[in-house]
Every structure is written in C-alpha cells, then in structure tokens.
Chains A and B, each alone.
Chain A
C-alpha cells in the first residue's frame, strides 16, 4: 500500500468562487484531508448560481473535500471552527478583504491557536493597497491587471475577454504551489507563515514580459490578436458548421512547405512572397484570407489531422463535445464520470497528476452542504450525538 504525497495534512478551506475551492481540490487530490467551512447563510456564491447542489462549476471545483456546515457568525460556531483549525496544518481563505478578521479567524488570531499554521489569503488586489477590501471576480482581475487591454483583436471595439473565470484557474494553482512550498519549509524548520496573494498580480506575472516592454522600452503593449510577429500563418481559421475553428501555426520554412503540400500545393501557395518568413509575415492579411478560403468548407478535425500528419502544428478550437471525442485525452484518462448523489452520473476532469511513486487519490464528488458535519463532529471534535443534534437545532451546525 503506497502513501499519498500529503498524507496526514489537514487543510481548512474558507473558500468561495474559484481560487480557493480549486486550490484545495488539488491538495485533496494529493491526499490532504480538506474540510470546507460553509453555511446556508454564508454560502460559497458558486453554489447559489443554480438549484441547490446542482451547479457544475461548484461540483467540479469542490471535489476531494468534506463539507462542514457551520455558522461562523455564531460564537459557538466559531469555537468549533477554531478547534478544527487548531488540529490543521493549512488555512486558505479568499473571502472579501477584512471578513476573516471580523470573524476572528484571521492569521494573527489563528496563529495564537496554532503557531506553525500556514495561512494563505488570496484577495483580488491583495492587502495593503486602496482596494484591498473590494470584492473581486476573475473577469475584474483580467481587467484591472492590464491583461484584458491586450487580449483582443486590434480592430475589436473593446476587449471582451472570456465568459470563463480567467485568471482564477491560474491563480488557484499559484495558491497550491505556495501551500506546498510552505509545507516543505515547515517540515524542515518547524515554521509556518502567512502568505498574502494578489490575484491581479498573478495575471500580471503570467505575462511579465509585457510589463518589461513598458517599463524598459517605454512602449504601451498593443493587442496582437492571434498574430505572431515572427510567424505566419498564425491564427484561427473558420471551418464548416456553426462557429467552428481550427488554429494553425507555421514557424519555419520547412513547416510552410509541409503545409503547402498537405493542402494539395494550390497555385497561390507557390507565390514566392510566401516562401520565407519575412514575406509571409508581411503579407499575412492575404495569406490568412487564402487559408480561410481553404478551411471554410472543411471539417475542423479533418484539417487538424491532415496538417498534424504533415507535422504542422494545428488544433481544433475545442469546446466540450470535442474534448469528449479527443482520442489523446481519452488515452490520458483525462475525463472521469462520477456519480453525485443529487445529479447522478456526470463528467469531470480527472486528477491531472501523473506521479510514479505517490499515485494521487481517485476523484470523489463535491459534498452537499453540510454532508460531513456529523462525521467531523464525531471523529475530530469527539462530540456526542445529542450535542450535535442540539447545535443543528440551534442553527449553529448544518447537516445534509
């Protein structure tokens, strides 16, 4: 029987939205015992984006953790929370700035209970600046960090970004990385610490070179859309059907020759202006138009396969149904079906970690609100059945 990487580590997830739920999901997949504090009065807002317990995003990001239904606004509830925190190794929170302090569960308070705690706060703008207490959602962070200003085609009237919560899902990985490094430091030195992450800064850190363009060259980075200043073609091309696209990139002249051959050596591809990189980049508008004419009545999957067989980088602009027919993801076992007690069999991302000596846990479904309140009270807090019943009746605890 092999051990998991984070065997024996207990994590309290005071999380809402994407960043903390997704981060603690991954810690759970690595074997940590993760407990999510939540209540009907103060729920994770993603839970409330649809009927109870049936929100896909919530049920994806909250797997591999247990739900402890506790009202943190009551003194008794906070007492129980503190008892659990005292037993734990890590606390991660992304409530609005100032909320954990008002609950007496901020780092300074928690450190009194558990001096070597690793405590991560992850707000939109981090602490210390004028907007530390502002509530934040991913699409605001891409806006305020400068990311959105260059995430557009040059001729779009304004940047639209995405309907997905980016950069939240990248920020969540930074949280997990910070927790793991801090855990290892504690293992060697016995010291815990407080980590204060700003999600806007994660967005900026992911494109640091753009800021150097400004700070060192004094130029304002401009949006490039799908273009690349040193490669052409480099873009998304329309395919048959509704809103279907294929991405193609050609960097070297050898790739260009393979590309031309793969599409049947049409006359226009023999144009000497396209033979070398500078000519292709210079004449990219015309090149893009010709390629789009070739892709327009073809199937995106066929184009991808034809070009990949010729060793030209190409890929379907996938949406979920494409993911499900993707043979490589199937081979990697990247998608998993799980039976959730209220929504039945649904598809989720499988654990993305492939480690030879510490196989990650298999995926479990997201908890119902308060699903594990009873077992946590019995096993960790050593409470009697009567006591639990009484606190549930008083609205201090909640059980699914």
Chain B
C-alpha cells in the first residue's frame, strides 16, 4: 500500500490542478464536463481504494517531501476519513451530474469550482495538522462563494453576503484558536497534540477551535445562518454544500475531540445537551417553513444533532452509530435536495402551496423523494432505520435515556414535516397555474432574469401554451385524474431525476446491506476510541 500513501496528496492536488486547467477552455463546455466528471470519478475510485486499504484498521500516512514526522505536512487516511472521503466523492459526482443535466455546468467556471471544492474537502479530511486544516477549509470555501453567487437566481445578495461573513468569522475564530494552541503547546500537529486536552490551557484553546467549527457545522445555537444562505442558491449547490461543508465540520469535531481530548468524559454532557437542543429546534423550524428547500435545510440542523450524539456518547456503539448516521445522512439529504431541486427547477417554484399532485405526474421523482424521506425519518428497510435504531440503542446503553427519547420524538416530527411536503407537493390537487409557474421559470432562465425582475406576462403565457401544445401526455396517464391541462405540458426530464434516484438506491442498499457499512463504521469508531495507531502513523514512528 506504499504507493497509495505516496499518492494521497493527489486527492488535493489533482482536482485543483485540473480545475485550474479547465479555466483555460472557456468555450468548450463538453471538454470541461468530461474532464470534471472524469476527475471526480477518479477521486471516487481512489477513495474506495483507501477504504479497502484501511478497512482492517490500518492507518496510511504520508509525510510530504519525506520530512521527518512532526515537521512534515502530514496526510493521513484511516477508516473514518476514507469513508467520509468516499461519500463526499459520491456526492460531488452525483451533484455534478445534476448540474450537467440542468445545464448549470455549461457556465464557464462551474466545473473548475466544483473540482477545487472537492480538492479542498479531501485536504480537510486527510490532513493531520490544524493549520493546514484551516488552509484547506479556506480552499473549499473560496470556490463555494463562487458557486453560491454564480448559480443563484436571486436578485438580492443578502444570502451570499451572510454566507461569506459567517464563514469568514468562523474561520478567523478557528485561526485564533490554532494560534492559542500553538502558544500553549508549541505544535499544531494533531498527533503531537494527542491527549493534550488534559492540560486546562490547551483544553480552552482547543475549545475555541471547536466553537468555530461548530458554527460551520450549524449546531444549535449557531445554526441561524444555514436556513437563510442555503436557500439562496441553486438546488444543486445546496445539495453539494449540505453533503460537504457541514459534514466536514462534523468530521473535524469527531476527530479533534477523539485525538486531543481522547473522549474526556467531563465535557460530554455539554455536547449531549447541545445535540438534543439542535434536534428539537431544527425539526420545529422545519415544521414552520413554507418552501420545500427551507423545510429540508432546517432538517439539517436537526440531523446534525443526531450525528453529534455519537461523539457525545463516546462509546464504541455510539461512535459506530454516529459515523453510520453521518454517512447515511449525507446521501439521503443530497437525494432529497436533488429530487426537490428537480421539481423546483422544472416547475419554476419551490413554494409548497404552488405545487400539487405530482404523485401521478412524476413517478420517478415521487419514488426518489418517498424513499429518501422515509429513510430520513428512520423507517425500515432504509438506511435511516439502522442509523437511528443503533443510535438510540447506544444512548440507552450509555445511560443517556433522555437523549434516546428526544431522538425518537424528533423522528416523529421529522416524519410529520416530510408528510407536509408530501401532502402539498405530491398529493393534493394540481394548481391551475402549474404551467404558468413552469413557463415563467424557463423564461427567466432563458433571458437570464433574476427572481425579482419583471417578466413579460405575454411571453410567459405563450411559453406555457407552447409547452401544453407540444408535450404529449405519457402513455400511462390516468385520464380520470383531475388535471388542469389534461396531463399535457411540462415534465421533469429523466436526466434531472436520475441523480436523486441513484442516491435513493444507495440508501435502500445501505439499509438492506447495513452489515457491511456498520462493520466499517465500527472499525472507524475503534480508530477514534484508540488513537494510538493514528498518532504513530502521523509521527512516523
């Protein structure tokens, strides 16, 4: 496996280099899409190789330029980081596929930005040095700012400005924490900091870092920015960010707490209280929202609470369940964002009260949404059931029965808010204006208008009439069903539905074959409980 170790920096370097090179071909969107997709798939294959190499608990480490351990820039992959890297690569590939299908990837810089983002994420997952972690977080944030604005159809910049401001503030705070850790310990290498959390000064300095990362993970009470920024951009970008940004932050919380504090039991109660509040506040927020995406974004806050229960319990079963939950959640959430995103982009609106009756009209999207929504709520046989069940078992085993009860109750509300989307978007009566909204969306996209700019009503009416005239009803359309246009008109193209279907298929297979991923998660959890292998690999001795 020596060759894999040496190639580890390529997970960061290759996407960034390819991304930079693709900026040189602004006129050839096909070349950009092919190379972008190729790089992401190569990254996915590489990440799977890493999982295969670390599945038995081996820790791969590479000291860049072969400097001695402690001085060199270390790249480390253990089971945990390989697993998260694999899922991020899957998400980046699928989201990029969606961007190609929706035509967003035609914009000159999108492929490059996605690749650089993927490179930064890989760096943040593989580094074992806190300062490099800061750098890689910035590497993944800078292209995100671009993606957020370029693919946004919003006229106002409030969401984008808020996103940059919050992230910059959190990064600055994190940097201050890194400086404080260096002041106390004289090193920022994670392996050399192993167990340093016993020292009060180091514990406080690390807590500054963890608080900054908590902002990025959108944990209660610093979750407020999430719902206002993630809804301000294209659905594909929301899906990408939901899988990558907040989840990398969660990975970092798991990693730092296990290495620096070695799972110190004194502070666990703080984490458990925060996670329980996150679960409740997030799901309550979701219940009150009125667009598909804002419901889902508030759910993220709630689900992030679930994931962090794992680190709050810090038992073998708890960490296993938390890691399984993290991986499951990344896939399911992206699937939901992509299926509702396909609806939003095709039908021109994400408002719950402007949509309806898609159940018979869009069978593929309906299946994708239903599977992912039930999985999110934690029903068998999907991966969400395994994740939630093991998490609740772990809480009860660790004596945190209250947390388990909160998790069960919040699940019911999760199901309720998923039913809210189901009832108004998939069930119910089709709105008489459905073609007008869809046509307006297409006209805005064609004429490059923002959401608050004036559109000529006549052009929209013509576009709607054209769509009704040209798009035949599908063969299986039930004529008895009430439809304002006799089943004619706009439909979601298969290519746009495919990404969410792929992810929905993954959650089904993870649910039925949970044994496989649970085994890997248990190995990852063991690596967090006993960090000796990690530390000796990073230090190279």
Q: Do A and B bind each other?
A: no
Chain B residues packing against A (C-beta within 8 Å)? none
